Structure 1
Amino acid sequence: MTRTAALLGASLLALASPAFAQSPSASAAPISVPPLEYTHRELANGLDVYAMPDAAAGTVTVTLWYDVGGKDDPQGRSGFAHLFEHILSRKTVNLPYGQISTLVENAGGSRNASTGQDFTNYYETVPPQYLETMLWTHAERMARPVVDDAVFQAERSIVQEELRQRVLAPPYGRFSRFVIGDNSFDESIYRRSVIGSLEELNAAVIDDARAFHEAYYRPATATMIVSGNFDPAQLDRWVDQYFAGIRNPNRPVPVFERPVETPRTAPRMVEAYAPNVPLPAVGVLYPGVAANHPDSAALDVLQAIMSRGESSRLYQALVYGKQLASNAGFNANSMEEDGSIGVTATVARGKAMSDLEAALDIELARVRDEPVTAAELAEAKTELVASDLRQRETASGRAFMLGQAIVSENNPRAPDERLAAIQAVTAADVQRVARTWLNDQTRVAVRYQDESARPAGVPDDSWRNPAPVPTYLTVPAAILPANELLPEGRRMAPPAPGAVRAMATPRVVERTLPNGLRVIVAKSTDLPIMNAQLVMAGGAAADAGQSGLASMTANLATQGAGGRSAPEIARTLEALGADIGGGAGADATTLFLSAPVASADQAGAVLADVVQRPAFDAAELERSRTRTVTGLTVALRDPGSLASQVLNRLAFGGAAYGAPAAGTPASVGTLTRDQVVGFHDRWWRPDNAALIITGGMEPEQAFAFAERTLGGWERPSGAVPTLPNRAGDRPAPRIVVVDLPGAGQAAVAAAVRGPRRSDPAFYPLAVVNSVIGGGQNGHLFQEVRAKRGLSYGANSSLGARVDGGLLSAATQTKNESAAEVVGLVLAEFDRLKTEAVTDQAVTDREAFITGGFSRAIETTGGLGGVLSDAVTYGLPLTEVETYVGKINATTPEAVMAAAQAVGSDQAWVVVVGQSAMFIDALRAAHPDVVVIPSASLDLNSPTLGL
């Protein structure tokens, strides 16, 4: 049957009511949230189809959600739903291995998939003319997948590398995925990690995969959502053509009888230890609620009060006030059948774990024992509604919101109903759920420390939950014959693209205020949200030997200005549903402001103070210094992050671009207030800046906002400062290994110099970069991941800078494979110098680049970013209109010519990992490799401390 959804429009518009209580520092403006609009029908085979047409969208998103996830992993096969997500993305009867990604990228689209405890989804966003092609690929995967040994072995290896990259390599990966996950639930079906374990992945066989598909993947377990620019009647015809004939297997879906959980009646403590943990972390875990539980909305509000934004209780008490933690979060995680509550924090440098735990307990007790204030309640509601509004900006965002509601709550109306429920939450409700669910008799306290702190005799698995793990289903063996890839001449061809549907190009207009400030406006949405970016030339390249100065200046500016303290700024903006932030790239400092249009003037008044009247209070400098040093300390223990920083220093040496933009613990430790004030006075001036406004404001409305906000910003009398060549001379190519004890994976990075962003040579080199390592069809992804399973991903990027950036490649692999991967990366740097690229290959890569650009400018923030880049790199604002044509003008001859600038003999190479596991093999190929112990590395030095 077909029905039109009840839209709750009147109730949602009522969110602009006095339900938002008044903050002492700001009056919360009305926020109007358009409801989700969709139609629904169900095919005879049980497939649910939701259509969300949007004639203004430049793309269409197809998502297919299957009612199978980590909770359905068979006994002894944790991580299997996630493994099968990979398998089902690769090969069908009519599509060779990897061809789905090829179709999507050649169409200028993007695709991916994900697995949760309750679901597995597959999704593509493409230009509208490729909708039929995408529907056909989903039908192929549902009805005609090929699960053969080659696919199975390749994807299992890739998933294991993904586990190493996401869990074993980052300093706190084991903490969040294993320690927290295993202890958040006891006898629950959600006990196991979705990503599984290396041991159980190794134990899987191909027959398991075939049985899993037969058991769970069918039309009756699937929900399709199509959102964007399409004709609904044509969609119905295509869905009938490709999906109506797919039959469900004759056997029912396996049903797992849920275990009856034993309620926790006493608290317990978990002590966990792992390698490469720079600072201890603590956690407190409680049972939570399912997504459709009556307490879910009140827990959302409680979560916002506790840890959303800088005015939240945990931030103010633990991070800002007592400075015991570098970060703190409160997460109420709700799924279809159960939930959990996790409160976590990382100990700040020089602070005691016990002091942090005591302070955290005080905050948990306070929210149980005392009602939250009216201002806190109103602020939390405004933040939640504003966040929801931002997610609804794009067709794909709305599709995912709808899909998550269906799989988590079996209710497509849930997103709209949730907003109404949040508005009804009272202070008494918040205290009630805090008392109910933050029950100390059910809590699990967690301590996470470096391996070096482990007492003698404590086993490796000391963190494991003592409660018995449920015995899961064993899926019945497959009985259907296995599919095979058809011979080339017998395969069905994908549907040809349809007619191109019109896409509006944003209209960009500009004025200059009397004080010299450029104001650039482009309306990008009809939603009542706005985004302002203030771009000021200079950036980290202007640090003048004091790394991190520009970044610290931007961060400190929001921490007190115009007579408001840092907490007052946070309370004011968060009560308005607004966000502010800033940072420094190599060539520019940027401040951003995002707010509902109705609150723009009030939020703009804060922006005006931050820009013109920052306090740069000495106490705030010390707070920011502590947080920054802690963050940098953690980043320097992550293999990928560290490799990127070392590579940048190798490529630019002692030039301005070579210094770490965020600084190092040592350089940030010596910054002074006078240096910060001096940087602000030199570089923060209206005639050195541009204000870019995108979103739902009409141009005249935006220009008036700019005049009211920054029209009074005074221009200094002196000339705007300039910078000499920031890239400097090219240092000699080198290969450097950073020995990082305990690294769960090795990071491999390599780079060569690229042209200025304003140089016409940038465009053909962008196509070269795409061939080398753009997306899943880039050579690097194919050689490192698809063919050999050595990494979860391998890609390259072409960085844009005023005086020349880098074409760089990056990947991560198990330590034992690092030398092999270095060889593969360098081979790709040489390949295009002699190997011709066909016309079709160039066209396909151009489509990949321009498709990504078109998706970017569909969003308010993305369009603002493109215009910000134009300002920073001295490009005309017409770049929004001409970029696609410049990329598409690249010929195969231009690709080969541009590729001559890329070569292994010109490359800097960095490997970060446990060097003993790969150094002999690497040195055999590269005798001049240099090894630096991570403890001796000095990023402040052009020589890295050698």
Structure 2
Amino acid sequence: MLKPKLFWCALAGSLFCQSLKAQKVDFTEYDLPNGLHVILHQDKSAPVVAVSVMYHVGSKNEVPGRTGFAHFFEHLLFEGTDNIKRGEFMKIVAANGGQNNANTTYDRTFYYEVFPSNQFKLGLWLESERMMHPVINEIGVKTQNEVVKEEKRLRMDNTPYGNLVNSIFKDLFPKHPYGGSVIGSMADLDAAKLDEFKAFFKKYYTPNNAALSIAGDIDVAQAKKLINDYFADIPKGAPVVYTKIEEAPITKQMVDTAYDANIQLPMITSTYRVPGNDSKDSKTLEMISAYLSNGGSSKLYKKMVDDKKEALQVGSFNYALEDYGAYITYALPNNNTPLNTLLADADAEIVKLQTNLISEDDYRKLQNQFENNYITANSKDLGVAENLANGYVFHHKNTNYTNQELERIRSISREDIRAAAIKYLQPSSRLVLYYLPVKKTT
């Protein structure tokens, strides 16, 4: 048994080594002839492997009148394939000690399995089946249509504040597809024909519009051979051409009101349209949100919740997407505090940011916090696989972005923080939304 002092020394050494390891992610990448981008990260520390595929398709790729397709395919591609019976996909994963899931955003769809490493081949086979020949038929479409409708009811229609982001984005992005919701319109899905679903799959779920990212206990040479066996024969699709829809700058404060039958407390939000996630300013704005509202010692929380006791909850976050971002602040009143009072007090903290540099102590705290978040994000194989894929898909095919992120964090100065607050967080370039309960009629 280790003596206490030796134990803590060993633990500290282990954490230090883990920190160093997480700061540098080694990887191998290449393209198959069909355009599939392959990313491999070997990690022998545990007999586990994460197999993931990120398709560069999200709700922003949909057309008016046919929204919800990308999220719908997140569900539909679990239905089955030519070689996997309907409803068997998840059963196969569970029976072999694995876990799996998928998620969709405005910009991409991400599928993954985490298996014991001796089931690595199974993970590759499942994802190749999904990509090569899924069964897309009327039975699957009708089944998943009901699943999506139930998800919408649970997550949005019957959840307090469930439509908040959609209400904000509708005004913030009047032209860009971000103005719609990821889950889309149920009427659009009901009206869509089977051939339209098949055409959407053929256009976007192709090897040349995807990144296969694998992290864990693998042999790289063997992995390359297996990947070639399972994926090389999948036909290349037509190039996916995407043109960003430009929004006109906001030059005058917008004010709107939305109602939610599921809430009792009103909320006030202020939202600024900001650059997308490839911009250094996006990370700077993320740092500003942490300074203002992350934890009990943050400026907004201490002032509005602890000291003045005018808010039950207050926060801010940078919703970073590919084409644009949305910097959102919000507050829930305590003791019937007027919503405009909450807005004014939050604005006052932003003005301080625009006027003065944050303290050296606060700056060091932010740097430590973001470095720790960075290390944590790369501490598990699935996180590594997703971060590597994100670098390739969202940062101009720069898979190494995950290794450059820490440098980017450290490069953000106190002056950068003040400059970003001045540039983006102006009342004349925002949306103020009053998110209110539905008045009960007697």
Alignment TM-score, normalising by the size of structure 1: 0.43
Residue 407 of structure 2 is aligned with which of 403, 407, 420?
420
- Deviation per CA, 1:858-902: give whole Å up to 9, x if none: xxxxxxxxxxxxxxxxxxxxxxxxxxxxxxxxxxxxxxxxxxxxx
Residue 181 of structure 1 is aligned with which of 169, 174, 186?
169
- Deviation per CA, 1:121-144: give whole Å up to 9, x if none: 110001111111111111111111
Letter in 1 for 2:438: E
Gaps of 5+ in 1: 1-15, 17-30, 455-946
Partners of 1:256 and 1:292 in 2: how far apart?
Answer: 17
Partners of 2:48 and 2:335 in 1: how far apart?
Answer: 47
Q: What secondary structure sits across from 2:181 in the alignment? A: coil
Q: Which residue pairs with 2:302 in the alignment?
A: 316
Residue 350 of structure 2 is aligned with which of 339, 364, 375?
364
**Shift of residue 274, structure 1, vs aligned partner:** 1.7
Q: Which residue pairs with 1:505 in the alignment?
A: none
Partners of 1:396 and 1:346 in 2: how far apart?
Answer: 35
Letter in 2 for 1:354: N
Partners of 1:98 and 1:417 in 2: how far apart?
Answer: 41
The yes-or-no answer on 1:54 pairing with 2:55 is no
**Shift of residue 352, structure 1, vs aligned partner:** 2.7
The yes-or-no answer on 1:80 pairing with 2:66 is no
Residue 83 of structure 2 is aligned with which of 94, 112, 124?
94
Partners of 2:367 and 2:316 in 1: how far apart?
Answer: 16
Residue 299 of structure 1 is aligned with which of 247, 263, 285?
285
**Shift of residue 43, structure 1, vs aligned partner:** 0.7
**Shift of residue 203, structure 1, vs aligned partner:** 2.4
Q: In the alignment, is the contact (CA less than 8 A) between 1:160 and 1:201 conserved in 2?
A: no
Letter in 2 for 1:170: T
Partners of 1:318 and 1:142 in 2: how far apart?
Answer: 50
Partners of 2:143 and 2:90 in 1: how far apart?
Answer: 16
Residue 216 of structure 1 is aligned with which of 186, 195, 204?
204
The yes-or-no answer on 1:225 pairing with 2:210 is no
Partners of 1:325 and 1:219 in 2: how far apart?
Answer: 49
- Deviation per CA, 1:828-881: give whole Å up to 9, x if none: xxxxxxxxxxxxxxxxxxxxxxxxxxxxxxxxxxxxxxxxxxxxxxxxxxxxxx
Q: Which residue pairs with 2:427 in the alignment?
A: 440
Letter in 1 for 2:302: Q
- Deviation per CA, 1:676-698: give whole Å up to 9, x if none: xxxxxxxxxxxxxxxxxxxxxxx
Residue 106 of structure 1 is aligned with which of 82, 85, 95?
95
Partners of 1:398 and 1:273 in 2: how far apart?
Answer: 40
Residue 246 of structure 1 is aligned with which of 229, 234, 256?
234
Q: What secondary structure sits across from 1:246 in the alignment? A: coil
Letter in 2 for 1:120: T
Q: In the alignment, is the contact (CA less than 8 A) between 1:66 and 1:119 conserved in 2?
A: yes
Partners of 2:299 and 2:391 in 1: how far apart?
Answer: 29
Partners of 1:452 and 1:189 in 2: how far apart?
Answer: 31
Q: What secondary structure sits across from 2:280 in the alignment? A: coil
Letter in 1 for 2:372: A
Partners of 1:146 and 1:447 in 2: how far apart?
Answer: 45
For the pair shown, which has the larger CA radius of gyration, 1 or 2?
1
The yes-or-no answer on 1:430 pairing with 2:417 is yes
Letter in 1 for 2:420: V
Partners of 1:434 and 1:213 in 2: how far apart?
Answer: 41
Partners of 2:332 and 2:394 in 1: how far apart?
Answer: 30
- Report 1:845-864 matches (<5 A): none
- Identity percentage over the alignment? 30
Residue 119 of structure 2 is aligned with which of 112, 127, 130?
130
Q: In the alignment, is the contact (CA less than 8 A) between 2:244 and 2:323 conserved in 1?
A: no
Letter in 2 for 1:206: L
Q: In the alignment, is the contact (CA less than 8 A) between 2:280 and 2:408 conserved in 1?
A: no
Residue 407 of structure 1 is aligned with which of 382, 389, 393?
393
**Shift of residue 81, structure 1, vs aligned partner:** 0.4
Q: What secondary structure sits across from 1:314 in the alignment? A: helix
Q: In the alignment, is the contact (CA less than 8 A) between 2:277 and 2:283 conserved in 1?
A: no
**Shift of residue 69, structure 1, vs aligned partner:** 0.8
**Shift of residue 370, structure 1, vs aligned partner:** 2.2
Residue 190 of structure 2 is aligned with which of 202, 205, 225?
202
- Deviation per CA, 1:64-123: give whole Å up to 9, x if none: 011111111122122110001111122111111121101100011110011111111110
What CA RMSD, in Å, does the superposition of the two structures yield over aligned residues?
A: 1.8
- Deviation per CA, 1:19-46: give whole Å up to 9, x if none: xxxxxxxxxxxx7553111111111111
- Deviation per CA, 1:386-407: give whole Å up to 9, x if none: 1111222211221122222322
Partners of 1:407 and 1:182 in 2: how far apart?
Answer: 26
Residue 258 of structure 2 is aligned with which of 267, 272, 278?
272
**Shift of residue 242, structure 1, vs aligned partner:** 0.8
Partners of 1:198 and 1:210 in 2: how far apart?
Answer: 18
**Shift of residue 297, structure 1, vs aligned partner:** 3.0
Q: Which residue pairs with 1:351 in the alignment?
A: 337
**Shift of residue 349, structure 1, vs aligned partner:** 4.5
Q: In the alignment, is the contact (CA less than 8 A) between 1:279 and 1:348 conserved in 2?
A: no
Partners of 2:109 and 2:167 in 1: how far apart?
Answer: 23
Between 1 and 2, higher relative CO (CA 8 Å, sep ≥ 6) is seen in 2
Q: 1:406 to 1:347 in 2, by over 3 A?
A: farther
Q: What secondary structure sits across from 1:416 in the alignment? A: helix
Residue 377 of structure 1 is aligned with which of 356, 359, 363?
363
Partners of 1:204 and 1:348 in 2: how far apart?
Answer: 46
**Which range moved further: 364-373 or 161-170?**
364-373
**Shift of residue 453, structure 1, vs aligned partner:** 7.1
Partners of 1:297 and 1:282 in 2: how far apart?
Answer: 24
Q: In the alignment, is the contact (CA less than 8 A) between 1:297 and 1:418 conserved in 2?
A: no
Partners of 1:314 and 1:362 in 2: how far apart?
Answer: 10
Gaps of 5+ in 2: 1-15
Residue 270 of structure 2 is aligned with which of 277, 284, 305?
284
Letter in 1 for 2:294: R
Q: 1:252 to 1:39 in 2, by over 3 A?
A: closer
Letter in 1 for 2:76: I
Q: In the alignment, is the contact (CA less than 8 A) between 1:175 and 1:448 conserved in 2?
A: yes
Q: In the alignment, is the contact (CA less than 8 A) between 1:42 and 1:48 conserved in 2?
A: yes
Letter in 1 for 2:339: M
- Deviation per CA, 1:560-608: give whole Å up to 9, x if none: xxxxxxxxxxxxxxxxxxxxxxxxxxxxxxxxxxxxxxxxxxxxxxxxx
Letter in 1 for 2:364: A
Q: In the alignment, is the contact (CA less than 8 A) between 1:74 and 1:80 conserved in 2?
A: no
Q: In the alignment, is the contact (CA less than 8 A) between 1:279 and 1:349 conserved in 2?
A: no
The yes-or-no answer on 1:190 pairing with 2:178 is yes
Q: In the alignment, is the contact (CA less than 8 A) between 1:118 and 1:407 conserved in 2?
A: no
Q: 1:257 to 1:55 in 2, by over 3 A?
A: closer
Partners of 2:433 and 2:330 in 1: how far apart?
Answer: 9
Q: In the alignment, is the contact (CA less than 8 A) between 1:91 and 1:97 conserved in 2?
A: yes
Alignment TM-score, normalising by the size of structure 2: 0.91
Letter in 1 for 2:401: A
Partners of 1:75 and 1:363 in 2: how far apart?
Answer: 40
Partners of 1:336 and 1:324 in 2: how far apart?
Answer: 36
Q: In the alignment, is the contact (CA less than 8 A) between 2:319 and 2:327 conserved in 1?
A: yes
Partners of 1:321 and 1:406 in 2: how far apart?
Answer: 45
Q: What secondary structure sits across from 2:33 in the alignment? A: coil
The yes-or-no answer on 1:171 pairing with 2:157 is no
Q: In the alignment, is the contact (CA less than 8 A) between 1:61 and 1:226 conserved in 2?
A: yes
Partners of 1:298 and 1:37 in 2: how far apart?
Answer: 26
- Report 1:517-916 matches (<5 A): none
Partners of 1:46 and 1:252 in 2: how far apart?
Answer: 10
Partners of 1:389 and 1:75 in 2: how far apart?
Answer: 40
